[in-house]
Amino acid sequence: MFFTYLRRELRRRRKAALVISAGLALGIALVITVNSVSAGMTQAQDKVLQSLYGLGTDMTVSKAAAPPSGSSNGQPRFNFGARGDSKTQSSDRVQVQGFQTLASSTVTKVASQSGVKDAVGGLSLSVVKISGQFNRGTFKPNQNSGSSGKPGGSGGGQGGGSAGQPQGEVQGGGANFSLNQFTVYGVDVSKLGLGPLTSSKITSGKTFTSAQTNAKVVVLDSAYAKTKKLTVGKTLTISGTKFTVIGIATADSGDSAANAYIPLTQAQTLSASKNKVTTIYVQAADSKQISAVKTTIQKNISGTTVTTSADLASTVSGSLSTASNLATSVGKWLSIAVLLAAFLVAGLLTSSAVSRRVREFGTLKALGWSSGRVTRQVMGEALVNGLIGGVLGIAVGLGGAYVVTAISPTLTASLGSTGGGGFGGPGGGFGGRQSAAKAIDIALSAPVSVSTIVLAVVLAIAGGLIAGTFGGWRASRLRPADALRRVE
């Protein structure tokens, strides 16, 4: 009886049901679209961050660089030995960059903290190589230097020398030197699942093996290898040590963490930093407890700076940041406003429909229907309207998300200048550069998750219940005598 009456009433009031369902569908569709676009923004931002700190890394532990001391101000110095010929001379400078070093034992201490699943250390180095030639000049005496009968007489000349010394000038000679500067990162080859190398894919050759702890091998970034015309099998010389290129890695997006990657032990040897690291990459046991793990590490390991991806996310700028802010603030508030308006309109329309059915409900009560049964009938109709609106809203919302994904608008993102600090990347910042990072183009998508669909269903049911509550309350207050007096 209930469902038969429900079906007949909905068919008889199709227009009113359609208006209520359409209003709810609009609000639900907007919620789905905004949530999907926001999820796409989050994914795009994750791509930017993962390209810098590596997959699986939740936070990094480092120690801020100490201020420079002495007259050198931390600048590299190059010493060349005196030679009497024109042979090529060169000098390499390998130094730790970005942060103060931490003892390797700190890695073990961090790994033992509550909530930490794994930790691995890395060493960031800067290599500056100066090479070139000193060429001796040729001394040419002045033509009139002998006019006084003595070398260097009163004839003067451009040499301007004192009495008893030949006068003239030195011609030719000079120096011609080139500068080669690149970044090197020491990788713990026993744990390749963490660290900046995980944000790159091996596109030629192979990566390190656990047996190459102290091997003289190197994996090059593809851009650097192309610039220096290095391929697998060739060698890269760092401070007089030759490293064999075993692989070429291409960053997933953005700049790579370093130009070259070598085993951590070799990096420590080159920089005279035995048992030292600059950055500790940390993976939390539970991604929802990252903030708590950060607090624990800062409390138990003094003097260190713990940086999470969330800390760095605020520095992402460009159109990605602008669009994300719009989707998060304006979009969500707009969808909430539309949804509330849809609920209110549905409730008012349902209540209005009940007032137009006074004779009908009065007759039903006169025939023995209780107020509860009438209320349940009204709420059942409103609930069906809500479910219909939910189905329509899901369909429209999925269509909107599909359109965004199909169009795939391109957004740009970049990280602000880190100035020597940041999220643990080689080069004194998160991902490695002292200057502002290169802009990254990200194709926006709008993925629809199961939770979003569940939210849409809940909203549909809630809309129906709210509308039914309005109408049911109005219907429950009707009295058969009052209703029958309105017979026309």
Domain boundary residue among 257, 274, 303?
A: 303
Does 253 lie in the same domain as 106? yes
Q: How far is CA 36 from CA 40, 48, 377, in A?
A: 6, 19, 36
The residue ranges of DSSP E strands in 146-234, in sequence order, are 168-171, 174-187, 200-205, 217-221
Q: 391 and 286, same structural domain?
A: no
- List strand residue ranges (DSSP E) for 211-297, in order: 217-221, 235-238, 241-251, 260-263, 276-277, 279-284
Strands 440-443 and 235-238: unpaired
CA 119 distance to own-chain centroid: 20
Residue 112 placed within a domain? yes
Residue 173 confidence (pLDDT):
62
Joined together, the tokens standing for residue 168 give: 């003239």
| Number of other residues whose CB lies within 10 A of the CB of residue 375 | 21
Q: Are residues 282 and 323 in the same domain?
A: no
Domain boundary among 259, 279, 303: 303
pLDDT 10s digit of each residue in the chain, 488 long?
Answer: 566 666 666 677 777 778 878 888 888 888 888 888 888 877 776 666 655 555 567 788 988 766 555 544 555 555 555 555 545 666 678 888 877 889 999 999 999 999 999 999 999 999 888 766 666 667 677 766 554 444 444 444 444 455 556 676 766 666 666 677 899 999 999 988 888 788 788 999 999 998 999 999 999 999 899 999 999 999 999 988 999 999 999 887 656 678 999 999 999 999 999 999 999 999 888 877 888 999 999 999 988 888 886 676 666 656 666 666 666 666 677 777 777 887 787 777 777 776 666 677 767 777 777 777 777 777 787 788 888 888 898 999 899 889 988 888 877 766 554 433 344 444 444 333 333 345 667 777 888 888 888 888 888 888 877 777 766 776 666 666 665 555 54
141 within a domain of the structure (yes/no): no
Range of 391's domain? 2-54+317-484
Per-residue pLDDT tens digits for 318-376: 666 666 666 666 667 777 777 788 778 777 777 777 666 667 776 777 777 777 777 77
367 domain-assigned: yes
379 neighbors 373 (Cβ within 8 angstroms): no
Residue 350 and residue 267 in one domain: no
Question: Do 351 and 202 reside in the same domain of the chain?
Answer: no
Residue 138's nearest CA partner among 171, 105, 92 is 171
- The answer to whether residue 21 is domain-embedded is yes
- The count of structural domains within the chain is 2
Identify the three-state secondary structure at position 242: strand
In a domain, 165, yes or no: no
Residues 218 and 267 in one domain: yes
**283 and 397 share a domain?**
no
Q: For residue 183, list its beta bridge partners.
A: 126
Domain boundary among 303, 332, 360: 303
278 DSSP assignment: S
Angle at 54 between CA 51 and CA 57, to 5 degrees: 135
**Same domain for 201 and 223?**
yes
- How far apart (Å, rounded) are the C-alpha atoms in residues 221 and 261? 8
SS3 of residue 243 by DSSP = strand
DSSP H or E segment with residue 413: strand 410-415
User: Are 296 and 91 in contact, with CB atoms under 8 Å apart?
Assistant: no
What tens digit of pLDDT does each residue of 187-235 get? 999 988 888 788 788 999 999 998 999 999 999 999 899 999 999 999 9
Residue 350 domain-assigned (yes or no): yes
Residues 402 and 294 placed together within one structural domain of the fold? no
Q: Is residue 160 part of a domain?
A: no
Same-domain pairing of 200 and 281: yes
Residue 248 and residue 342 share a domain: no
Residue 447 and residue 326 in one domain:
yes
Dist CA 263 CA 246 (whole Å): 12
Tokens standing for residue 285: 């046991």
